[in-house]
Structure formats: structure tokens, C-alpha cells
Amino acid sequence: MAAELFPSKKRISAFSASISGSIQQQQQQNLSNNNSSSWGSQGCRTWQGLFSTIRERNSVMFNNEMMADVHFVVGPAGGTQRVPGHKYVLAVGSSVFHAMFYGELAEDQDEIRIPDVEPPSFLAMLKYIYCDEIDLGADTVLATLYAAKKYIVPHLARACVNFLETSLSAKNACVLLSQSSLFEEPDLTQRCWEVIDAQAELALGSEGFCDIDVQTLESILQRETLNAKEMVVFEAALNWAEAECQRQDLTPTIENKRLVLGKAIYLIRIPTMALEDFANGAAQSGMLTLNETNDIFLWYTAANKPDPLFCSKPRKGLAPQRCHRFQSCAYRSNQWRYRGRCDSIQFAVDRRVFIAGFSLYGSSCGSAEYSARIELKRQGMAMAHRIIKYFSDGSSSTFPVWFDYPVQIEPDTFYTASVVLDGNELSYFGQEGMTEVQCGKVTFQFQCSSDSTNGTGVQGGQIPELIFYA
């Protein structure tokens, strides 16, 4: 069971590619280890007086041969490392070590082999037990979580989960989803689903998606709330099948791709694709049999539709929510004008959301078309931008403009929403703006932006709504 839980090196590397690495941290840790090891040969009679707390004195013993009464041979064959330990310290930090060394079934072993944990992660766990320090990195956190779970070190396990949640993005959400279920971390699983649902097309197009197991693949393909075109789902499944062929040492032919997908192919809702997408993509991919292709074409066009093997019910996706920050709107004969100037507002949220776009006001003197350059920034760095046209019918309604993909927004950080409009000079504008708006479970806070050069602020102006998923 342990080997099954342990994340493969390939999956860990896929995850680490999406988060900034921790190689430097590991080098610093190794340097610290080398320094502490020297205590065994120099000043061993007086070193205790140099440290005022038991934590500092215990830290000296971390990965130190001095007074070691047990040794661990850690790692798989060909990559082992011998690690010294001290039974009392280990037993205080882990109930598993306590049972191993002092329980009724304790065995007096001088050397214990641990083939299912990699040395850096085992040392990270011991560093927490000895030094009360948490040293996590992108390339070791999953394996450290496994070690913390195996030896029941709950506070370290919680820290690993927090690290993963903080680092969660569309690039690694699918890999973490497969691991979170193995580690029985429902909160992390839920967080992964939130990202995958809202940023489905980015998540399905990530390298990490191709590294998931078939059970995770099936759970994603049958997900009702995926915010993705079905053609994107189909192409992602083909990419996964090619990677799976390589894992199984199979030539990635069409037949073998279909073989490794198995029944999962029927979880793709091919009849819900646009006819053009199906005709130019799925129908010509070779992945469908002639009968399947014929039935789907008939399903599109015939009065008496056959019953396709594929689900023909479109996914529900996610319903976008709107945060409206004004209590009223108005227009005047000399406002609101656009001459290439920027309308901006800063906002923050109290929980993670995904901004899909904005709503904007339109012309106050008849129908008109606008060109909008919309942008979302964090600390001056652009996270998303798009140039898009929208049509205003002359009413006081708001008109949505969308980014290419929803943008992940972290809590308790201010972001800047901006738009530069080109079109009819006069438009509606918002009034009686609010500094705080409650939208379902999400609280938005607004403040003025120094980027705003056209008058938009908290009290009035443009960008009346933020469109988001939560």
C-alpha cells in the first residue's frame, strides 16, 4: 500500500515545474547538516551550555551521529541514505516511532530500512521533529506529506497541505487532485476541483494533466461543472492517451490510444460539440469507429435521432456571479467621455475567486459599438489583458466583456481592474459606489487606483461589475 501511495518521480517533477523550485533551500539544509555533524568531534563536553533552550539543543542532534542509538536506511535500492536517529526524540515527535521503539511489540533494531520514502523528505520530517522547523519545497512537499502521514506527524502534514493549497494553480491542479485523494485530504481535493472547474481549459491543457492516473482522468471527464468546450476535453483526453501509451511502452497508435482510454472515451460528450468542431476534429481524428461517427452525424442532422453511446447532455459548467459596486447610474450632457484615458479600480477579496471579466456601461445617446482594452494587474504586473468589441443598445444596462480565461485571484491582496474605451464619447456612469460588497460567500473591497486617469474611483465611474466564479 505504501508504494502505491508514494507519488512517482514523474508526477512530482510535473508538479515542481509549476511552482518555483527549492533547490537553494535544500542546499542550505545540507550545509546546516554538515555544520551540526561537527559537534560530535569538537567541544562535545561543553556544547550544551551554548544553547539556552531544549529546542536548540535538540537541533544539534538532528542528523548527527553523536549519541545516535538507531539508524535508518532510507530510499529505494540504488538511492539509499543512512540517517542517524535518537529514539527518545523520535518517539516524542511521532506516535509511530513511539510504538516502534517503546511499544509492546517494539523490536530492538539498530538499523531500520525505509524503502518507500525518499531521503530529502525523510530528513525534512526529522528536521521538524528535532528542530521544530518546517522546510518545504516544490520538489519534496508531496513526498514529505507522505512521510508525515505514514509516521503520524499531523502538524507537519497540515503544513504540507497548506503549502500545496497556496501553490495551487491550473498548471498543477490535476496532479494534486490525484494525490489529494490518495492522501485523504478532502479540503485539498475541493480546492483542486474549484481550480479545475473554473480554469478547465488551462488545467486540461497543462502538462500535469497527462500525468494523472486513469481514475482521476475519469473523474475529470465526467465532471458536470467543467468550464470548457467539449472539443478541448476531447483533445486533452487524446494527449493523456498518448502519454499513457508511453508509460505502458506501447506505440502511440490510434488503436492503442483507444485501448488505454477504455470506457473513459464515452465520458466525453462528443454530441454536444459544435457541428463544425466535430466534423473538423473528432470525426477526423480516427478515434471513433465508423458506426460511432455515423450515429453522431445523424444525431446532429436527422429527425429520428439514434441513441449515441456518448452522453448528449451539455455540461452545466459554472454560473458566473457578478459583483455590482454602484447603487445607481446616470448620464449628463458632458459626461462620461473617452479619449484614450484609463478607467481603473482596485479590489481585494476574502477568499479565492476567478475573475472572468468585467461589465461596462455603454452609450447614453443611442446605440454604439465600443472597442475595449481590458486588463487585470497584481502589484503592477499584468495577469490578463484582451482587446474586445461590444455593442451598446443605448440603455443603462451593463455589457459584459470577457478575458480569454478566468484569472485566479488570491485573498487579501489588491488587484487592479482597468479598461481603456474607444467609441461613442458619452456614456452612462455609476454613482453611489460602495467600498465593500458582499456577493454570496465572497466579500469584495474597493479602493481608488492611481492608474485611473479618466475619473473612475470608488464613488463613481466605469467598471460597474466584476464577473467571477467562486
Q: Classify residue 383: in a domain, yes or no.
A: yes
Q: What is the pLDDT of residue 135?
A: 92
185-224: pLDDT as tens digits: 899 999 999 999 999 999 999 999 999 999 999 999 999 9
Shared domain check, 214 and 281: yes
Shared domain check, 161 and 66: yes
> For the residues 297-326, what does the mean pLDDT come to?
92
Shared domain check, 334 and 219: no
CB-based contacts of 142, cutoff 8 Å, min separation 6 = 7, 11, 12, 15, 160, 164, 179
342-359: pLDDT as tens digits: 999 999 999 999 999 999
Please give the Cα distance from 423 to 371 (Å, whole number). Answer: 6
Q: Is the per-residue pLDDT at 1 higher than 80?
A: no
CATH number, position 155: 3.30.710.10
Smallest Cα–Cα separation from 181: which of 140, 203, 212, 153? 212
- Phi, psi for 420 (deg, rounded to 5): -115, 120
Q: Classify residue 15: in a domain, yes or no.
A: no
> For the residues 374-394, what does the mean pLDDT come to?
95
Residue, of 181 and 231, whose pLDDT is higher: 231
Shared domain check, 212 and 188: yes
Shared domain check, 194 and 162: no
Shared domain check, 426 and 388: yes
Q: pLDDT band at 326, cuts 50/70/90?
A: very high
Q: How far apart are the first and last CA of the chain?
A: 36
Q: Classify residue 376: in a domain, yes or no.
A: yes
Shared domain check, 243 and 161: no
Shared domain check, 250 and 112: no
Strand partners, 400: 359
Q: pLDDT band at 423, cuts 50/70/90?
A: confident
Domain span at 104: 21-31+45-167
CATH number, position 253: 1.25.40
Q: What is the pLDDT of residue 184?
A: 87
Shared domain check, 280 and 241: yes
CB-based contacts of 350, cutoff 8 Å, min separation 6 = 411, 412, 442, 443
SS3 at position 362: coil
Shared domain check, 434 and 366: yes
Domain count within the chain? 3
Shared domain check, 359 and 234: no
- For the entire predicted model, the pTM comes to 0.80
Q: What is the pLDDT of residue 45?
A: 60
- Taking the CB of residue 332, how many other CB atoms lie within 10 A of it? 10
